[in-house]
């Protein structure tokens, strides 16, 4: 039921939410649906070209617009809609658009949706051996930019509780900022089906993930080279079917029928596809945030075998719904065990469903987020006054982004229009 049509929220994304190809897209559309259900007026802006994903938003009743980051026409449009809240999809979008929002709508609550902590994911990608001597986590351009974005924002949405702890313990963010300006906000999922296909109705292994996401591409290669040969040696008739959007030719060419290894590519219905399989493989060696592929598997009743990084921050205090292993040998052994044991499999399905219902429920998650946003708006000036580091960043460092954007806009303007 509609609750408040006088409140409006603007969401700005690098691309239109791609719900059929990425967990980030599912997350963005979940936010949209949550706001619409509360009766809020929702706007969505992206520099991306028109496509079916934009049409999906239009059909939901979202008012969409297309603007490049360096287009002052955005300022004029923004002054007309005057949103109460503005949500930036990742820190790169906050860098490009937040100064314009601050100038045109100074009273709008600026919210950073981190999706995952890029500083952590990229650090792990560059430092795969945790025992090696490493550069400190915060000593990188990614970390400086992402942390600065968190400080500048009135509220930052963090999907993983382990990432909240990381910001607290390893990166030393002030406790006042953590308490006031961070909110654990999961991906929103509707209740799973009451009776998904059972153990005996399923066969084979699945794996799913957008191939443009580096952790997924690496996981497919590790599965192909080390894990699957060990599984196949114990289950000679088993197959693994690998799904994901944007598969390059070299990934499609990994298909090997004799080895039972099939790269299928994109599927329009991730959950429906996963429901055909008995075990969901997610051998992630690096990454961050919440793993949509595991959530989709839980929703479909297909329990995962994953790594510590894959399971990180996803279950709260609840027992894990599947198995966790960090070596190729242990991973293969766990996958075979889960595949062959009806009791172990049923227990994993039940635990996964419990996690999904308690940590990712659409109604409770969206309601909590709306309540947090309204709380921040009611105390906005006081919160900003206490965030001295954010005020300092606005005064000094972020001006470089502002003037660089203005320079690009002037540079791209036709020469004739610059002649007075």
Clarify whether residues 42 and 173 are in a common domain.
yes
Quick check: 374 pLDDT over 70? yes
Is residue 193 situated within a structural domain? no
Q: Are residues 374 and 341 in the same domain?
A: no
Task: Please count the structural domains in the chain.
Answer: 2
pLDDT above 80 (res 204): yes
Give the pair of three-digit tokens for residue 120: 């952590």
Residues 125 and 246 in one domain: no
In a domain, 2, yes or no: no
Per the domain annotation, does 105 fall within a domain? yes
Q: What per-residue string of b and e applies to 305-339 under the rule 16 or more CB within 10 Å gives b?
A: bbbebbbbbbbeeeebbbbbbeebebbbbbbbebb
Q: Is the pLDDT of residue 2 over 50?
A: no
pLDDT single digits (tens) 71-82: 889 999 999 999
Mark out the alpha helices in 115-182 (DSSP H runs). Answer: 118-126, 141-152, 161-169, 175-181
Whether residues 99 and 125 fall in one domain: yes
User: What pLDDT is stored for residue 337 in this prediction?
Assistant: 98
Shared domain for 391 and 316, answered yes or no, is no
Looking at the predicted structure, is the pLDDT value of residue 398 above 60? no
The CATH number of whichever domain residue 396 belongs to comes to 3.40.50.2000
Percent of the chain with pLDDT over 90: 75
For residue 301 the two structure tokens come to 């009743």
Mean pLDDT (the chain) is 90
For residue 1, is it within any domain? no
Give the pLDDT confidence score for residue 401 in this predicted structure.
62
Residue 163 exposed, middle or buried by CB count within 10 Å (0-12, 13-18, 19+): buried
Same domain, 127 and 264: no
88 and 221 belong to one structural domain: no
pLDDT, tens only, 78-109: 999 999 999 999 999 999 999 999 999 999 99
Q: Give the pLDDT score at 139.
A: 75
Residues 262 and 176 in one domain: no
Contacts of 46 (CB under 8 A, 6+ apart): 12, 13, 14, 15, 16, 54, 64, 66
At residue 176 the predicted structure's pLDDT band, cuts being 50, 70 and 90, is confident
Stretch 11-30: mean pLDDT? 93
Which pLDDT tens digit goes with each residue over 250-297?
Answer: 999 999 999 999 999 999 999 999 999 999 999 999 999 999 999 999
Among 359, 376, 406, identify where a domain stops. Answer: 359
* Per-position DSSP letters for 275-318, written without gaps between them: TT-SEEEE--SS--S--HHHHHHHHHT--EEE-HHHHTTSSTTS
- Answer yes or no: do 25 and 135 share one domain: yes
CA dist., res. 240 & res. 262, Å (int): 6
The first and second tokens of residue 161, run together, are 């509780």
* Residue from 44, 153, 18 nearest 95 by CA: 153
* Residue 68 burial (C-beta neighbours within 10 Å; 0-12, 13-18, 19+): middle
**Does 269 fall in a domain?**
yes
Task: From 36, 34, 86, select the one nearest 61 (Cα to Cα).
Answer: 36
- On whether both 229 and 345 belong to a single domain, the answer is yes
In this structure, is residue 194 part of a structural domain? Answer: no
**In this structure, what token pair is assigned to residue 412?**
């791209």
Q: Which domain holds residue 271?
A: 199-359
**pLDDT of 361:** 96
Query: Is 346 in the same domain as 367?
Result: no
56 and 159, same structural domain? yes
Position 338 in a domain: yes
pTM for this predicted structure? 0.90
Count helices and strands in the chain by DSSP H and E runs: 20, 13
């Amino acid at each position: 039921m509609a609750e408040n049509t006088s409140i409006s929220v603007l969401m700005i994304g690098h691309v239109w939410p791609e719900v059929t190809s990425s967990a980030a897209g599912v997350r963005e559309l979940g936010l949209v649906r949550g706001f619409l259900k509360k009766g809020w007026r929702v706007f969505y802006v992206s520099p991306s070209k028109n496509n079916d994903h934009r049409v999906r938003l239009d059909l939901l009743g979202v008012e969409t617009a297309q603007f490049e980051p360096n287009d002052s026409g955005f300022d004029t449009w923004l002054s007309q809609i005057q949103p109460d809240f503005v949500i930036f999809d990742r820190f790169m979008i906050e860098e490009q658009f937040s100064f314009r929002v601050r100038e045109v709508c100074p009273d709008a609550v600026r919210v950073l949706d981190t999706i995952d902590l890029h500083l952590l994911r990229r650090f792990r990608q560059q430092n795969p051996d945790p025992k090696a001597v490493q550069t400190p986590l915060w000593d990188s351009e990614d970390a400086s930019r992402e942390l600065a974005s968190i400080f500048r924002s009135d509220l930052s949405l963090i999907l993983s509780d382990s990432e909240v702890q990381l910001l607290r313990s390893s990166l030393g963010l002030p406790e006042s900022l953590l308490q006031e300006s961070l909110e654990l906000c999961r991906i929103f999922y509707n209740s799973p089906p009451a009776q998904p296909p059972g153990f005996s109705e399923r066969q084979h292994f699945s794996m799913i993930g957008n191939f443009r996401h580096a952790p997924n591409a690496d996981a497919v290669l590790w599965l192909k080279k080390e894990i699957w040969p060990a599984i196949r040696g114990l289950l000679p008739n088993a197959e693994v079917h690998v799904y994901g959007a944007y598969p390059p030719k070299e990934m499609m060419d990994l298909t090997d029928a004799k080895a039972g290894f099939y790269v299928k590519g994109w599927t329009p219905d991730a959950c429906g596809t996963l429901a055909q399989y008995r075990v969901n493989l997610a051998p992630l060696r690096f990454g961050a945030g919440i793993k949509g592929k595991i959530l989709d598997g839980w929703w479909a009743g297909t329990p995962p075998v994953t790594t510590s990084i894959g399971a990180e921050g996803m279950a709260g205090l609840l027992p894990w719904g599947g198995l966790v292993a960090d070596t190729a040998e242990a991973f293969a052994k766990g996958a075979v065990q889960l595949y062959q044991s009806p009791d172990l499999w049923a227990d994993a399905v039940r635990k996964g469903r419990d996690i999904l219902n308690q940590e990712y429920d659409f109604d409770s998650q969206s309601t909590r987020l709306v309540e947090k946003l309204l709380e921040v708006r009611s105390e906005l000036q006081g919160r900003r006054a206490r965030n001295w580091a954010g005020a300092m960043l606005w005064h000094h460092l972020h001006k470089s982004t502002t003037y660089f954007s203005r320079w690009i806009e002037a540079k791209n303007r036709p020469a004739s229009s610059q002649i007075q």
